Each structure stands twice: as C-alpha cells, then as structure tokens.
Chains A and B, each alone.
Chain A
Amino acid sequence: MSPIRSSFVVTLAAVAAFALAGCGERPQVVTYKQGTYQGKADTPPWSGAQWGGNKQQWDEAIHQRNQAQNEYKRIGG
C-alpha cells in the first residue's frame, strides 16, 4: 500500500470514527422513582453569605420580622 493511500485510509477511519461518535446515545431522561424528589438539591436560606450558616441568627431575624406583623406590638395596644 502506498504511503498516500495508507494515510488516506487512516484519515478516512478517523473521520468515520468522529462521525460515528455523534451517534452515541446517552440517557436524556431522568429515571423516576415514585415518591422521592428527583430534582436539584436546594440550600437552606441561612447558608448564604449574609448568615454564614448561622441558623440561630436567621431564626432570630425571622422571629423579629414576624413580630412586625403584630400591630398591637408595633403601635402599642
């Protein structure tokens, strides 16, 4: 086999392999398991930079905010 012909065969094989790679199949759907959350994980609200994971501090802030909804406390009963 001449060097030109053999390099042509190698190139052709490489192109064919590359083209066939596009036919590869990978799962495109989620495997569902009934009754369990299948989506992305979420982070708790106190995990951000503002609270730095301090849940107690976040709880206190929410409690303060809650009390602001009690107008008897806000404006005095």
Chain B
Amino acid sequence: MARMKFLCDAERCIACNGCVTACKQENDVPWGVNRRRVVTMNVGVPGERSISVACMHCSDAPCMAVCPVDCFYHTEEGVVLHDKDLCIGCGYCFYACPFGAPQFPQTGAFGVRGKMDKCTFCAGGPEPDGSEAEFKKYGRNRLSEGKLPACAEMCSTKALLGGDGETIADIYRDRVLRRGKGAEVWGWATAYKLPPAGAKPPAANGGTKS
C-alpha cells in the first residue's frame, strides 16, 4: 500500500519557487493562501540551504488531534485531508502544526478568517472525484488521475520528491550513494556529483538504466 509522503533534498533545492507557483496554478489557490512555501536558512552565507515546506501528511497528525470538530481524516494512501463544510476556522490546527501548513483566507463567512485551507497532496477532498465542487473547495484531484502532486512533478532540480514513501526514499538513497556524501554536501558540483568520464556509478537500489 502506497503511503504518500514528500521529501525535500535540501542539497538540491535552489529556492526557485517553482513548486509554490505550480501549486498555486494547479489548485487555483487565492491570494494570501500559501499551501507551499520555500524557506531559506543562512541566506548569503556559504552553506545556505533552502527547503520546500507544505503539509507533510503526518502519520500521527497533530492538527487532527486538536481539531474540536474532527473535520480531518486520513485517506487509505496516508494523505491528511479535511472537510471544509465542517471546519469552523478556529485556527487550533495552525497552532498545532509544526510546519505552519494550515492557511486561512482573509475573506469569507467568518469575517477576517475563513475555513482552513492546506496542501491536499493534490488529492482533492470529500466531494466526488474531479467534480467542480471538489475543485472549488480543495483544488485539483491529480491522484485520481494517476498523477502525483504538481509541486513535486514540476520541480526542475528534482529536489522535491512526492509519492509513495518507500519509492521516494529509494530514489533519495540512490542519489546520496551516487554523490558519495551526506548532509555536508553543498554546491552544484557535489549535489549532482557527475561521475568522472569513464567511471561507472556505484550500483544502487533502483539506480540502473531502464
């Protein structure tokens, strides 16, 4: 069973914000709501790192634990979704989330704070798959089309990986083996670590030519 997860390779992220743009465009996210954002640490200092952050679809989600109206649920694939018809916009989930994922539109029935909006892993919500109601409330349902989240598929450096946790972990492991370094890696030359001419890359799980 696929267990959907995101993984961001901080050694590759170039803070281009392509993932943010892809998410906005794909889900028609309104101004002021950022389902995904790029955070850069130690800006301008050698060794600076950027990471793309959104809902991490926690297995034991704190937002789910604190919601007073129990509007969250886990799908069979491990995606954390919520029912906007039930959400009261209280903001408890925002305080509970370690990633700052829950977002609140500034207009709506609740005056200054509307119903919570967050990354859906491009899996829509509790409305008929691919329906207009689903798109308006939750955005596009790419999973039901056999596709992965737009942010990950659009990532130009493939820093952001999204999909089945086991598979993306294999891809990342293969990548780290090929570049031969761990978290100390910094810079294009090492992050991509092309093998010297004539040398064969190390054999790794899933890293063979297809």
- Residues A77 and B70 in contact, CB atoms below 8 Å apart: no
Give the docked Cα–Cα distance between A59 and B126 (Å): 21
B interface SS class:
loop
Segment touching A, from B31-39, B51-59, B94-102, B168-176: B168-176
In the bound complex, do residue B163 and residue A65 qualify as a contact, i.e. CB atoms below 8 Å apart? yes
Name A32-73 residues within 8 Å CB distance of B. 32-48, 50-51, 58-59, 61-63, 65-73
**Does B71 have its Cβ within 8 Å of any Cβ on chain A?**
yes
A36 touches B174 (CB 8 A): no
Q: Give the Cβ gap from B107 to chain A, nearest Cβ, in Å.
A: 23
* A–B complex contacts, Cβ < 8 Å, 26 sampled: A36-B70, A37-B70, A40-B85, A42-B125, A44-B77, A45-B129, A50-B146, A61-B146, A62-B2, A62-B163, A62-B164, A63-B164, A63-B167, A65-B147, A65-B148, A66-B163, A66-B167, A70-B171, A71-B158, A72-B174, A72-B178, A73-B206, A73-B207, A73-B208, A77-B201, A77-B207
